[in-house]
């Protein structure tokens, strides 16, 4: 280091003394602490010095690491790297349910559970009402239109003791089937009928019809929000509706 020449130090001391002299009347109080702080200053660093020397030995590595740590911890970094995977999985859960819980068959299965299972069994195996599963209902109603008409009108419209369904089947009304036309929407009735035919009885034609209906509804070509009036609806009307879906879809 360059040494400060003696004469410069003297000049500085003289200047300081002159300044102190000028401020003697007003600022002597300030000048004294200022002078006192100068010798105190070396004392302050001298105290931490032994501590700084002693510190590295007793401080455990993890304590030092904790003090030094200011970045993202390693475990958080791992978590952050998993974030894209989580995001993809999360989006996946958002997109899957709509495929399973919408559409006319999904509506139909809910309606069946709520309105029909009590008499026909949870899987259509039968109860106080006939079995509908394993092709049984397809034998009674060869067409979806006739099946829809039956569910809309119930047994009252046909009348006690009268035949219903395919003649060869020989079914006679005994009077226990409610009419659903006023209760359920067209969508719900078509849904529950296609649920019975496609899912409970395994008809692929009716599964295709359900898909065509979903497509038509999705495209805005079909509105199934109204009701089928049990006292006036005819099988021809229903058949026409179903045909229009099949034509529009293909
Ligand atoms: C209160 C009991 C009961 C409920 C609820 C009920 N059904 Fe029925 N269902 C019957 C009875 C009883 C018959 C037989 C016809 C008759 O005697 O009236 C029948 C017959 C049927 C048949 C004809 C089966 C065949 O092969 O002869 C179909 C299809 C049917 N029901 C569908 C439905 C649907 C769809 C629902 C729900 C929306 C439903 N049922 C709710 C009692 C019920």
Residue 46: is it exposed, middle or buried by C-beta count within 10 angstroms (0-12/13-18/19+)?
exposed
- Is the CB of 119 inside a 6 Å radius of any atom of ligand 1? yes
pLDDT value of position 97: 47
pLDDT value of position 55: 55
Q: Which fold has domain 104-249?
A: Cytochrome Bc1 Complex; Chain D, domain 2 (1.10.760)
Q: Where are the domains of the chain?
A: 104-249
pLDDT value of position 26: 47
Residue 234: is it exposed, middle or buried by C-beta count within 10 angstroms (0-12/13-18/19+)?
exposed
pLDDT value of position 51: 53
Give Dmax (Cα) for the chain.
135
- Per-residue pLDDT tens, the chain, 250 aa: give them: 567 777 777 777 777 777 776 654 444 444 444 444 444 445 445 555 555 555 557 788 888 887 877 777 777 877 888 888 888 888 777 655 444 468 999 999 999 999 999 999 999 999 989 999 999 999 999 999 999 999 999 998 899 999 999 999 999 999 889 999 999 999 999 999 999 999 999 999 999 999 999 999 999 999 999 999 999 999 999 999 999 997 764 4
pLDDT value of position 7: 76
pLDDT value of position 21: 66
Q: How far is the CA of 184 from the centre of ligand 1 (A)?
A: 15
pLDDT value of position 184: 98
- Is the CB of 200 inside a 6 Å radius of any atom of ligand 1? no
Pocket test for ligand 1, best of 110, 121, 129 (most atoms within 8 A of CB): 129
Letter string b/e over residues 162-183, b meaning 16 or more CB atoms within 10 A of that residue's CB: eebbeeeeebebeeebebbbee
Sign of the C-alpha dihedral computed for residues 60, 61, 66 and 70 taken in this order: positive
Atom of ligand 1 nearest to the CA of 165: 27
What's the pTM? 0.66
Distance CA 31, CA 4 (A): 24
Letter string b/e over residues 95-113, b meaning 16 or more CB atoms within 10 A of that residue's CB: eeeeeeeebbbbbbbebbe
């Amino acid at each position: 280091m360059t040494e400060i020449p003696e004469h410069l130090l003297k000049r500085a001391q003289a200047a300081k003394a002159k300044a102190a002299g000028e401020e003697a009347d007003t600022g002597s109080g300030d000048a004294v602490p200022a002078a006192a702080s100068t010798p105190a200053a070396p004392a302050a660093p001298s105290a931490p010095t032994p501590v700084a020397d002693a510190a590295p030995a007793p401080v455990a590595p993890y304590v030092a690491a904790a003090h030094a740590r200011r970045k993202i911890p390693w475990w958080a970094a791992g978590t952050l790297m998993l974030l894209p995977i989580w995001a993809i999985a999360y989006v996946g859960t958002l997109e899957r349910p709509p495929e399973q819980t919408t559409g006319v068959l999904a509506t139909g299965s809910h309606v069946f559970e709520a309105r029909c299972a009590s008499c026909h069994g949870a899987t259509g195996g039968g109860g106080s009402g006939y079995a509908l599963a394993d092709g049984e209902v397809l034998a009674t109603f060869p067409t979806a239109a006739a099946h829809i008409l039956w569910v809309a009108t119930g047994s009252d419209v046909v009348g006690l003791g009268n035949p219903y369904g395919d003649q060869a089947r020989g079914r006679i009304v005994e009077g226990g089937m409610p009419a659903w036309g006023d209760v359920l929407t067209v969508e719900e009735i078509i849904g529950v009928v296609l649920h019975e035919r496609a899912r409970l009885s395994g008809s692929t034609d009716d599964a295709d019809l359900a898909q065509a209906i979903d497509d038509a509804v999705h495209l805005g070509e079909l509105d199934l929000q109204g009701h089928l009036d049990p006292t006036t609806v005819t099988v021809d009307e229903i058949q026409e509706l179903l045909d229009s879906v099949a034509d529009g879809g293909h």
